[in-house]
Each structure stands twice: as structure tokens, then as C-alpha cells.
Amino acid sequence: MTDTSLFLAAANGHNTERAPIWIMRQAGRYLPEYRAIKAKHSFWEMARTPELACEITLQPLRRFGLDAAILFQDIMTPLPPMGVKIEFAPGPVFAEPVRSARAIDALRVPGKDEIAPFVAEAIKLIREACPVPLIGFGGAPLTLATYMIEGGSSKDFEAFRGFLRQEPEAAHRLLDKLTEVSIRYLTMQVEAGAQAIQLFDSWAGLHDARSYRAFAKPYNRRIFEALAPYRIPRLYLAVDALHLYGEIKELPCEVVSVDWRAPLSQVRPLLGGKTLQGNLDPAVLLAPKGVIAQEAERVLREGLGGPHIFNLGHGIMRQTDPDSVAQLVELVRRYDRVKVREASAS
């Protein structure tokens, strides 16, 4: 198998000889070359200028032998065309949180080509220059709704959780609109050349299984089903969601991204035959070399029971030394899963 197809093979359920590796938030503030561009442009300028978005996507690939690229955008990208104003400081800040049925009914559902034509252009530029598969992505409807209603990041998202309980019907209308926009936005990415799609449900873990079944699962399912005809691997991330894996197992996606809170060997039986992605604690990359090696090897060993894509359990921290990432990538690339399995069998 060539190195260029390794990520797609593992994502499609093959138990590959070595685990492909990419890093969540691999393009970003821990890289000096990203900060140099950031010093001259706002977040939206970077995201909406295809040449800059392409350049930033490729930056980590030049440094590290990563097995996949992820498009430089944000989960917020499809929201301004719906009629909401968002700035980054550095997290998303909404000019006006969406807190009423009227505000929800006023949201537009833009056409496929209106949402983000700059993303289609960026994807085409990246595909011309990129040696490894390109992952497109979007936010899951419930996670997008979390930010829209809260108005930005928060510790407990109290406004959002209150709204779900007080106005469930309006919440469903919002989730329905976000689902439709996400389907248009993500199918556009695949048609432009994205070779896999990851759906980020960063805040799914806030909810119990009943709420997840009501407010998350049917919408995520609709998005994954809309992507099915394209036959690209579909990846799903939910953070702090061990209690939801019984539901997540039933989603039509090929890969589940697992955070660091439970070992892959414990999670695997809960998710049927899906490929597991993860799950090194991002804080490990702040540790000395010996600790990084020990912890990465533990994750690799726990991943041996089936298809595995190595990644962090959540986004890389901005204090991370890029040399530590280089060390991690080398270690994962050298780890021969077949040999280790044979040695432990004999």
C-alpha cells in the first residue's frame, strides 16, 4: 500500500500495517509560519482568501510527514451567509446570539453555491499541491446551535441548555436549518475535491443519551446519509461522550474520533467495527520526549485491535513545540503494527 492511500484505507476500515497520523488543528497558532500570516490578516481574511487558506493548510505538511491534510476553515464558515455576524477573539463571538423563535425563523438557508464559493476554490488549489488526502469538515448541527444560541464559547453553555428545554420546537427548527445548510456545504466540499469529511460535534458530551437521541442523532444521521452516495469516508468527533457511544455506534459513519478519557481498547467494542481515531491527550505534547514516546506507544498498542488512525484526543494546544510534533509523527510512522502483533502472539 502506498503512503498516500494509507489514511483512506484505515478510514475505510482496513487494519493497516502502520497507523496513519494527522493532528487535530494541525494548522494553527503553535506554528510560527501560521502566526506570521496571522499577524497580517484577520481570521476571516485568511479563511476567505483561497490562496491563504491553501497555504495555511499546507504549512504543517511541509514540516511533518502527516498522512492527511485538513482544510483550513472553521466550523463557523457556513453561518454568516445564514445572516449571523461572527468575529474571532480568538474563539467565535456572535454579534447577536440567536435566542428567539423569531430570530431562528429569520435565518436564511442559502443555496449550495452561495454558502462559501471561496472554500471550493481553496479545495481545488489544495488538491493541486497536496500529496496526501484532504479532509473537509463542518460542525454538527447541535454544536453549531450551541454557539449560536450561547453567542460564543462558555464553560457550561447554560443559555443553550435552557433554550433546548424551554423552546424545544424552535430548537428543532434551528437544527433542521443547520442540517440543510451543512448538507449543502459538505456536499459542495466533496464535489470540489475533499476526499473525506469530518463532522465536529465538540459539545455533544454536554447532553444525556435521551437529549442526544432527540437533538443530535437524527440530524447527524441525515448529514451522513446525504454524503453516502459520494462513497468517501465519514468521520465523527464527539468530545467527552463515552456515555453516548451506544447511540454513536448506530450513526452511518466509518470513523469515530475518540478523546483521551478512555483507552481505545475499552472503546472499540462499544463502536462495532468502526475505525477509531485518536486518542493521545494533547497535553502530552507539552511533556519531555521520554513521556511523549511512552504515551504515544501506549495509544498505538491500545489501538492494535482494529483499524486505527493516530491523532490527538482533541485539538493541539498553542503552547506546543513543533519539534514535539515532529518527534510524535516519526514515532508513529516507525511503529510496525504487524510486527508488534506477531511479537505479542508468540
Where on the chain is the footprint of ligand CP3 (CB under 6 A)?
24-29, 38, 43, 70, 72, 74-75, 88, 90-92, 137, 153, 200, 202, 314-315
In angstroms, the CA 340 to CA 131 distance is: 28
Q: In what order do the strands lie in the sheet with 196-201?
A: 69-70, 134-139, 196-201, 234-238, 255-257, 275-280, 308-312
In angstroms, the CA 312 to CA 8 distance is: 18
Q: Tell me whether residue 38 or residue 341 sits nearer to ligand CP3 (CB atom).
A: 38
Q: Tell me whether residue 103 or residue 317 sits nearer to ligand CP3 (CB atom).
A: 317
Q: How far is the CB of 170 from ligand CP3 (least distance, A)?
A: 23
Q: How far is the CB of 338 from ligand CP3 (least distance, A)?
A: 30
Q: Tell me whether residue 275 or residue 311 sits nearer to ligand CP3 (CB atom).
A: 311
DSSP state of 84: -
Q: Tell me whether residue 92 or residue 133 sits nearer to ligand CP3 (CB atom).
A: 92
DSSP assignment of 149-199 = HHSB--SS-HHHHHHHHH-HHHHHHHHHHHHHHHHHHHHHHHHHT-SEEEE
Q: Residue 311, preceding bond cis, omega within 30 degrees? A: no
107: Cβ contacts below 8 Å, ≥ 6 apart:
82, 83, 84, 98, 174, 177
Q: How far is the CB of 301 from ligand CP3 (least distance, A)?
A: 26
Q: How far is the CB of 294 from ligand CP3 (least distance, A)?
A: 25
Residue whose beta carbon is closest to ligand CP3: 202
Q: How far is the CB of 317 from ligand CP3 (least distance, A)?
A: 9
Strand partners, 279: 311
Q: How far is the CB of 1 from ligand CP3 (least distance, A)?
A: 25
Q: How far is the CB of 28 from ligand CP3 (least distance, A)?
A: 4
In angstroms, the CA 235 to CA 245 distance is: 14
- Do 256 and 274 form a contact (C-beta atoms < 8 A)? yes
Q: Residue 90, preceding bond cis, omega within 30 degrees? A: yes
Q: Tell me whether residue 60 or residue 306 sits nearer to ligand CP3 (CB atom).
A: 60
Q: Tell me whether residue 71 or residue 304 sits nearer to ligand CP3 (CB atom).
A: 71
Q: Tell me whether residue 71 or residue 251 sits nearer to ligand CP3 (CB atom).
A: 71
